[in-house]
Structure 1
């Protein structure tokens, strides 16, 4: 099979979608039965795109075209944006497909937060996704949903037949495994982190419910006089000012550490050193940080919303995202009860073994075959 892969996510920060593209791309490069070309739309400046990957770099003004054209007009034009590239199928890895007249396509849809929770989505993303995601799902031969929850949303909100949607779970990189204590100490010193801490990893944006986490953590401090700190790893997204305002207003400046973005090579040690991983998100299409934490043997406290129970299963503590007292109680238990914490370390490690990029890739190839009529 000749596959043209949308590699645009690799040009930006190392988000979950970028990790998805990088992981299946690496496996494609090792597969003798797949000839993959990776499409980008500007000069390669990203460390995420390996030098040996075959790249199709065209610079057609797709953002400008999308801004002013309706989807039905663009996709009905007698134009193939990649006419000079040999391929059987285009894989839109990031919610949408490109104009590829009379060519086969698959689109990966990671979540429908812009429809399910529009108040947690920026106006820019809402305007783009609400215009192009439904049409891409309709035009593609197959749709990949990264969780059963996302599939349900696609069927309900985009009115796509259930039989057209394949659920293919994501995974965590193999580097996310328990790190020796000495390496943990070195990394904690490198970033000047506290010895005892709860950990959140993700973008600072409304959907992640960091205000709720701060309220739970404040409750932990007030009720139990906890000595643990809260470490928040992740880049600023949008509408993050209320997070810092809450910290200031409640005098938590010495209790909370905002690290900003941290490189992948240091994350396993930071995960491993945590008392527990806390993930109170309102909505997730999947939630790769959950598997990263569990792979490192870290107990998980997470919200019981959207796809999160599908990822965590019975191997973590699942709570309503706004049950602040329950979150404080759960955090306290992991702080003071080592036997309780040890039992959830084992549960996390066991759960992480159920997910792998090799499984994701094999199921993705199966979707390609379905899209091409099953004859490849």
Structure 2
């Protein structure tokens, strides 16, 4: 088979979706030497992140503006390569495909179909436009997709409720990299603490500026916790928000009474991220919606207790292995922080990942099975 995979989001600073796409590529490169792969990425992306495999043909596309890349450059490149399958693993696909290629979509979630009362509108233009684009495209491709993959049963139910896809929908839980089960690199950790001036104890929050990540609630809950407990030692580390950005999160922290104990971390390698997870006293997610919640599983694999939202896929993925809270109730989150930080816990949290974690090679085997079924159909 000639299989095309869009790797646009795997060649930038990796967030959840990009990490999943890169995991797909790494697993397929490891287990499949028979099929021919065509991996598409923007020319200004970090192409060296794509696995180097003898049957991987990397196609560098000149357009970096995503809608133009996806709707013009990608389908033209796929046509030139005469694909059997084009796998679009980032929620949307081209509206038009030339030739006979079958279309496989990974639809991680349908957060962009949620109302503004559920997921508030962003005050950042690119996020608002992205939400409109994804909602429009997923509405228009409902009868064009040959097979749909999603990342949790909760996402599958949401897709069925929000869309009328004519294709089968299959849940494949994302893989998790072995590094998160390993002993953390102390040298990498010490370099981070020195560079960004923090020390234990600390709470780690992997959020973002998007309203769906609800990072302000995490900060306000941290303020409540410190005031309730007269805690002047514990810090809050935040990854996903640029400290020099002009947004409401940074502006809020600048006026916070505990601003000296809040640190914004830059992009972290997997090695650095694992060390931050592993040394954290607790990992906290206050997201309003998650299709899967990969950081929560990575934190558990790293041996760290977690606090997560009681909505979206998180109850399915974390279950009884973490403290689940209303992410919009700062009092409840602060109480959960107090509970998590006041217990001397010897639980091996990495065991808690066993129900919903697997290797990327296992994921790749499921992908190959789907590709074969789609081509034979």
Could you say which residue in structure 2 is the equivalent of 1:158?
Answer: 163
Instruction: Please list every run of at least 4 consecutive aligned residues from structure 1 whose deviation after the TM superposition is greater than 6 angstroms.
Output: none
Separation in 2 of the partners of 1:189 and 1:64? 41
Q: Is the 8 A contact 2:238 2:265 kept in 1?
A: yes
Q: 1:327 aligns with which of 333, 346, 363?
A: 333
Gaps of 5+ in 1: none
Out of 194-203 and 131-140, give the one that drifted further. 131-140
Out of 251-260 and 291-300, give the one that drifted further. 251-260
> Cα deviation per residue 1:277-323 (whole Å; 9 max; x = unaligned)?
00010011112111111110110000111111122121111111122
Q: Is the 8 A contact 1:60 1:81 kept in 2?
A: no
CA RMSD of aligned residues (A): 2.8
Residue 279, structure 1, aligned to residue 278, structure 2: no
Could you say which residue in structure 2 is the equivalent of 1:88?
Answer: 84
Could you say which residue in structure 2 is the equivalent of 1:364?
Answer: 367
Residue 351, structure 1, aligned to residue 347, structure 2: no
Separation in 1 of the partners of 2:66 and 2:332? 45
Could you say which residue in structure 2 is the equivalent of 1:109?
Answer: 107
Q: Is the 8 A contact 2:293 2:314 kept in 1?
A: yes
Could you say which residue in structure 1 is the equivalent of 2:346?
Answer: 342
Gaps of 5+ in 2: none
Aligned residues: 359
Separation in 2 of the partners of 1:337 and 1:322? 24
Could you say which residue in structure 1 is the equivalent of 2:248?
Answer: 242
Residue 257, structure 1, aligned to residue 263, structure 2: yes
Q: Is the 8 A contact 2:43 2:63 kept in 1?
A: no
Q: Is the 8 A contact 2:88 2:103 kept in 1?
A: yes
When normalised by structure 2's length, the TM-score is 0.86
User: Structure 1 residues 349, 100: closer, same or farther in 2, change over 3 A?
Assistant: same
Offset at 1:275? 0.3
User: Structure 1 residues 66, 127: closer, same or farther in 2, change over 3 A?
Assistant: farther
Residue 176, structure 1, aligned to residue 171, structure 2: no
Q: 1:146 aligns with which of 120, 136, 151?
A: 151
Separation in 2 of the partners of 1:104 and 1:177? 37
Q: 1:269 aligns with which of 233, 252, 275?
A: 275
> Cα deviation per residue 1:188-224 (whole Å; 9 max; x = unaligned)?
3343222210001132321111111112111101111
> Cα deviation per residue 1:155-195 (whole Å; 9 max; x = unaligned)?
1111225x711111113221112535844445433432222
Could you say which residue in structure 2 is the equivalent of 1:203?
Answer: 208
Offset at 1:123? 1.8
Separation in 2 of the partners of 1:181 and 1:196? 18
Q: Is the 8 A contact 2:105 2:148 kept in 1?
A: yes
Could you say which residue in structure 2 is the equivalent of 1:26?
Answer: 26
Separation in 2 of the partners of 1:358 and 1:61? 30
> Cα deviation per residue 1:69-117 (whole Å; 9 max; x = unaligned)?
xx9xx9xxxx854222142111011112233233211011112111115
